[in-house]
Chain A
């Protein structure tokens, strides 16, 4: 066994009294508390990390895009609802005036977009509407005429205090018949249109026209 190196012996003898370590834990926690950044500083430090700040920017961009997409879809839904109301006026003589065949594209284009009709479907549906449009327009014209006559009789009753009730009742009857014819024509058109569509398209189409086709004209009490 070789004798120990005198230098090692001297190094071994260097054993200074180690400084007191009591309270070191408390001191460490005090320093940590003192250097702990506030919420704002933490946020700033968070954004200084490139990966996190890039993620935040990406999330913002995606959020904006999602909002724009949602807004666009909402706007489109509102537009389509408005077009659907216009469409109801076209097919329901009791609501408004049917248009000429030259403007049918304008009235039906929403349906093509909203229900994603194929070109063939669209062409057939357009043809159906154009074929029935003349009939609906005639019914509307008659309804307008009857309404004017009814208004004239009402004016006569108010100004002269008397009216020919037989004529009045005849007008009411005519108006009821016209309403019923209008309703039947519209139902025929809707039914024919629906058969051209796929089940999914049909369901959505019927949702739009449900209010118009589900309420038949009420008979006027005699």
Chain B
């Protein structure tokens, strides 16, 4: 996660004052972490890109509402997480098969196989484990999944995740613990190889 709130505030101020190039700077800084989160959440690159673009459009439309106290990271991930949840529900009601997705929405295993791996059997086992992990993460409820992804991959603090999900830091700790419990239960004892 780009950890420079002062730069974010300066760009938001500039955007509010009408300097539209500030949005380009914000996009350049935030597109990777946002798309990474959305892709892990949805398992579909087209959807991830679409929702990240929508998030920035909403940021632009709401630029007047930001002030010096606003936490851009929390705002962006809140908007994106809500979009992801809605898109995930919609995809479940209207199932389609994306070119880069498995049937449950996770990225295709074939995309992660490296033919030049030294030990094909070990590589296959690794890919299978990751596929199992993707399925297990996809099975997590929204709050658990968001908490896990923001904490483990985007390195947001519990306070920031609490702002995203609208709960306390303690609530985030509980969600994280339960998410991990559920992952362990879904994965069994086959990881760590």
Contact = CB atoms under 8 A, between A and B. Distances in A.
A39 B46 CA distance: 33
A21 B48 CA distance: 10
A73 to B, nearest CB: 42
Nearest to A10: B191
A2 interface: no
Contact of B191 (A9, A25, A32, A35): A9
B35 A18 contact: yes
Contacts of B32: 18, 21
Interface string A170-192: 00000000000000000000000
A208 B159 CA distance: 79
A6 B152 contact: no
Given A7-B191, A10-B129, A10-B133, A18 B184 contact: no
Given A7-B183, A32-B57, A13 B130 contact: yes
A24 B29 CA distance: 12
Given A6-B191, A9-B192, A21-B49, A14 B39 contact: no
A16 interface: yes
Nearest to B184: A7
Given A6-B192, A14-B134, A16-B40, A25 B24 contact: yes
Interface residues of A, number: 22
Interface in B17-42: 23-24, 27-28, 31-32, 35-36, 39-40
Q: How large is the interface on B (under 10, 10 to 19, 20 to 34, 35 or more residues)?
A: 35 or more
Nearest to B189: A6
Contact of B49 (A9, A19, A32): A19
Interface in B83-138: 107, 111-112, 126, 129-130, 133-134
B77 interface: no
A96 B52 CA distance: 89
A32 B27 CA distance: 14
Nearest to A30: B53
B82 interface: no
Most buried by B among A8, A9, A29: A29
Interface string B50-70: 001110110011000000000
A204 B184 CA distance: 98
Contact of A28 (B39, B53, B180, B184): B53
Query: Nearest 4 CB-CB pairs, A to B?
Result: A19-B45, A6-B192, A28-B56, A10-B191
Interface of B: 23-24, 27-28, 31-32, 35-36, 39-40, 45-46, 48-49, 52-54, 56-57, 60-61, 107, 111-112, 126, 129-130, 133-134, 148, 152-153, 180, 183-184, 187, 191-192
